[in-house]
Structure 1
């Protein structure tokens, strides 16, 4: 149990059988009446955001999340198979569980899998990945870094906007959080 006075950004709590992460909190002490804590909560599984008010000192169950680093090994039909490198146990996750970051999964890549009550809540990929460009328009002499961008398809199938001078076969670094080009590798 955790007191509403102890809420911090990132704290995970359990409400109505679901895990919620505190996005914002504000301790309000009005001149008249009792103090309260106004929060903005994000559902860890669905991503929905709600605003909820708690009485000051009210206790709620704290959700204990377990983080484990698993390695992506291969795709089997609709499932993505991850392996725990310590126990060599396999975990099968579907694309819906992984989310839109599935487009950056590459064999051998390590990901952080967050579970709650033996249920996968979230899969976190590294903030940046290095992938090879397999399809893009050819670069032309005179293309510069500040000239503009063009679409490029990388080895995992993801499409990223890259500078005009990037050509097929080059390895580029991509930010997985906002799908942006970071540089050549």
Structure 2
């Protein structure tokens, strides 16, 4: 059990018999006749529906510990996304509502931690940032300018704004939540 005042983003709780992941949680001290409260936004892991809750700080919620298993992404049929356990070759599917915006970042054979509750898949634990190769980028206006950005197309077909020095073939790190450029990945080159 976890008290409402201890809720943090990423915590999974059981509400009305369904798993919910805490997206945001904030404590409001209150004043006058209004008591203190915890405001939380939670996402239903089955339906993807987001709810807003107002809880008393001492309210207790059932915290659920999920198991994580690294699985390999195989394909999607438009309705579900299919993953395979690389150890047992067992395949599982997750509905597209659960994958949501992460869909554009999934690539075949990519290994992703899948969250399991009592052996059943409920969500994916997608990384904060992902590395992708630049497929096309126009030449930079000023080679060393970093304050201006230009559009670049990545290997997954996504278009992002990158600094002027990024060129085709570079690998960049993209923040998954916002879809924005974070940094260029430098590959170590050794001289013989």
TM range (shorter): 0.7 to 0.9
Instruction: Tell me by how many angstroms 1:100 deviates.
Output: 0.7
| Count of residues in Structure 1 that have an aligned counterpart in Structure 2 | 179
State the Cα RMSD in Å: 3.2
- Give TM-score scaled by structure 2 length: 0.72
What corresponds to 1:180 in structure 2?
180
- Give the unaligned 5+ runs of structure 1: none
Superposition pairs of residues 135-174 of structure 1, within 5 angstroms? 135-137=136-138, 139-140=139-140, 142-174=142-174
Query: Does structure 1 conserve the Cα–Cα contact (< 8 Å) formed by 2:38 and 2:56?
Result: yes
Superposition pairs of residues 1-185 of structure 1, within 5 angstroms? 2=1, 4=3, 7-10=6-9, 11-22=11-22, 23-24=24-25, 26=27, 38-45=38-45, 46=48, 48-54=50-56, 56=58, 59-72=60-73, 74-78=74-78, 79-116=80-117, 120-137=121-138, 139-140=139-140, 142-181=142-181, 182-185=183-186
**Aligned equivalents of 2:4, 2:129: Cα separation in 1:** 36
Deviations 1:138-184 (A, max 9, x none): x1463334241122111112222111232222222222232222114
Instruction: Tell me by how many angstroms 1:29 deviates.
Output: 10
**Aligned equivalents of 1:150, 1:132: Cα separation in 2:** 16
**Aligned equivalents of 1:62, 1:161: Cα separation in 2:** 39
- Give the unaligned 5+ runs of structure 2: 187-192
- Classify 1:127/1:25 alpha carbon distance in 2 versus 1 (closer, same or farther; 3 Å): closer
Instruction: Tell me by how many angstroms 1:103 deviates.
Output: 1.0
- Give TM-score scaled by structure 1 length: 0.74
- Classify 1:167/1:17 alpha carbon distance in 2 versus 1 (closer, same or farther; 3 Å): same
Instruction: Tell me by how many angstroms 1:31 deviates.
Output: 10
